[in-house]
Amino acid sequence: MTNPEPETAAAPAPKRRVYQRAPKLDALLADATERARHGVLEIAPADQVGRHVSAVAEGERLVVHRFEAQVPGYGGWQWFASVARAPRSKHVTVCEVGLLPSGESLLAPDWVPWAERVRPEEAAEAQEAEAAEAQAEGETAEAGTEGDAAGSSSDGSAGIAVPPAEDASDETSDAAVVSEEGPEAPEDGSGDGPEVPEHGSVSAAGEPDGAADAAETADAAPEANG
């Protein structure tokens, strides 16, 4: 009995290389230099359009002409005008015009995201500054809360001002003075007068009350006998 041969994996088919043939420079479009210049002069002053630099085929029956750009601040830049024509036609059409940089132009560096531009030490410093600012804000808020609590405890639980208590010692001293001086008799005499001892009281005539009563009794006695 023979062992079956192991199946071999199928080898991937080789990829076909696609050769792109460079577009052929159209002779009619390559000679249309003046037509391309007139297209550029529609957007640029004549003194800023310099000599013809090149004519490059960008596609079938499509050619781009370039001219020197004498624009202040744009050293090395070039004006361009793309021209094309329909099949079996000799009419040249200007498709697009504009300003492009060349290999000698001064260009800005490629844009880099902020996270990649910041160095690690700069990121650490920024984090420390944010932490210090947050701590300062927290201390300020805490101090303000303590000040409010102290004000409410001194002026009342609800923060309402309480009038100062009257001094009772002044009223007590005034009452003591009045009691020592005694009650004042009213001017019309209708009130009670000062207290007089029961014994040895003096009448309005200056005699004791008992002597006055004895004299009245003696005067009335002879009248009764007579």
pLDDT in tens, 18-49: 667 778 899 999 999 999 999 999 999 999 99
Residues 91 and 44 in one domain: yes
DSSP state of 50: E
Which segment, 5-19, 96-110, 155-169, is predicted with the most confidence on average? 96-110
99 three-class SS: strand
Distance between CA 53 and CA 69 in Å, rounded?
A: 10
**Total number of domains constituting the chain:** 2
Asked, for residue 178, whether it belongs to a domain, the answer is no
pLDDT band at 224 (very low <50, low <70, confident <90, very high): very low
DSSP code per residue over 55-82: EEEEETTEEEEEEEE--TT-TTEEEEEE
pLDDT at position 46 = 94
CB-based contact 51:40 (threshold 8 Å) = no
Residues 43 and 82 in one domain: yes
> Facing residues of 56 across strands?
64
pLDDT band at 82 (very low <50, low <70, confident <90, very high): very high
CB-based contact 67:40 (threshold 8 Å) = yes
Asked, for residue 64, whether it belongs to a domain, the answer is yes
Asked, for residue 224, whether it belongs to a domain, the answer is no
Structure-model confidence comparison of residues 107 and 184, the more confident one: 107
Stretch 191-220: mean pLDDT: 52
pLDDT at position 225 = 47
Asked, for residue 49, whether it belongs to a domain, the answer is yes
Considering 70, 101, 132, which residue would you say is the last residue of a domain? 101
Structure-model confidence comparison of residues 222 and 55, the more confident one: 55
Stretch 130-149: mean pLDDT: 80
Residues 119 and 94 in one domain: no
Q: Is the pLDDT reported for residue 153 higher than 60?
A: no
**Centroid of chain to Cα 16:** 63
Considering 127, 152, 177, which residue would you say is the last residue of a domain? 152
Mean pLDDT, the chain, integer = 74
Stretch 59-68: mean pLDDT: 95
Asked, for residue 22, whether it belongs to a domain, the answer is no
Domain that holds residue 128: 114-152
Measured in degrees and rounded to the nearest 5, phi and psi for residue 121 equal -65, -35
pLDDT tens-digit readout, 89-122: 999 999 999 999 988 888 888 888 877 777 777 7
Stretch 212-225: mean pLDDT: 53
Asked, for residue 159, whether it belongs to a domain, the answer is no
Q: Is the pLDDT reported for residue 186 higher than 70?
A: no
pLDDT at position 25 = 92
Asked, for residue 120, whether it belongs to a domain, the answer is yes
Measured in degrees and rounded to the nearest 5, phi and psi for residue 161 equal -70, 130
- Indicate which CATH number applies to the domain containing 61: 3.10.450
Beta strands in the chain (DSSP E): 49-59, 62-69, 77-84, 93-101
Asked, for residue 127, whether it belongs to a domain, the answer is yes
Distance between CA 54 and CA 81 in Å, rounded?
A: 11
Residues 31 and 96 in one domain: yes
Structure-model confidence comparison of residues 147 and 45, the more confident one: 45
Residues 142 and 76 in one domain: no
Confidence (pTM): 0.44
Residues 84 and 37 in one domain: yes
Distance between CA 40 and CA 98 in Å, rounded?
A: 7
Residues 34 and 92 in one domain: yes
